[in-house]
Amino acid sequence: MSTKLLQALDTALANWNAMSKSDEEEAESTADAFQASFYRFIDELRVWVNELEERPESLEALLELPVIEEIVDRLPGSLYLNFETEAELILDNQLRTEDDKYD
């Protein structure tokens, strides 16, 4: 796994944990931090996928890659659907606009 991808994943997961433990006063700021870090991670994932010698043509093929299996193993279950949706967009060469990102 690339260093940038790993760091982005670690940051997103740390922010997820902080958000999960935050109180009402911190809720908005920790949620914003998580959302920003999650999309930085997705941006790094996009770079990584686009640099592969053999780019997967399907979500199933992508999910079978050892690096992606490691990522999925580390993701909380509640983030998997968001990850899968973003992975499909990457494979379709689509970018999510700021308004389309999860709130």
Per-residue confidence (pLDDT) for residue 103, from 0 to 100: 47
Residue 101 is predicted with a pLDDT of 52
Longest pairwise C-alpha distance within the chain: 46
Q: DSSP for 2-63, please give it.
A: -HHHHHHHHHHHHHHHHHHH--HHHHHHHHHHHHHHHHHHHHHHHHHHHT-SS--SSHHHHH
Is the entire prediction scored with pTM above 0.95? no
- In angstroms, the Cα distances linking 84 to 2, 25, 65 are 20, 31, 14
Q: What is the mean pLDDT of residues 2-26?
A: 90
Mean pLDDT of 65-88: 95
More confident residue, 100 or 36: 36
